[in-house]
Amino acid sequence: MRMVLEDLNIGFVPGLLEARIGHIRAGAHSGIEPMTHPGEELVIVTEGKMVFTIDGDRHELSAGDSIHFRTRLPHSWANPSEKPARAIWLVVRSS
């Protein structure tokens, strides 16, 4: 995977909303198989490039772009470039 997550919920007990900064190495990806889980994600790319595949649809994002999706849909992410990427990840878990 090669992504380091920096927690933005400092001192707050994890709940339904998680906020993190993802530091994604060049060539990193979420895995061979798409994942699913309850909830929603909003990802804002702040540096570099990322590709998200949501329910078979490919979305190419650059710095300043964002994507919001329901995580019950099969999804995956990748940094296809030779440079690191950074993104703010907001995850809402189902109760």
Full-prediction pTM beyond 0.85? yes
How confident is the prediction along the chain (95 residues), in pLDDT tens digits per residue?
Answer: 688 888 887 766 667 888 999 999 999 999 999 999 999 999 999 999 999 999 999 999 999 999 999 999 999 999 999 999 999 999 998 75
pLDDT at 1: 60
Calpha distance 65→44 (Å, rounded): 6
Confirm if 39 and 61 have CB atoms less than 8 A apart: no
Q: Kindly report the CA angle at 80 between 54 and 63, in degrees rounded to 5?
A: 80
Confirm if 18 and 56 have CB atoms less than 8 A apart: no
List the structure tokens of 11.
């001192």
Cβ neighbours of 48 (radius 10 Å): 20
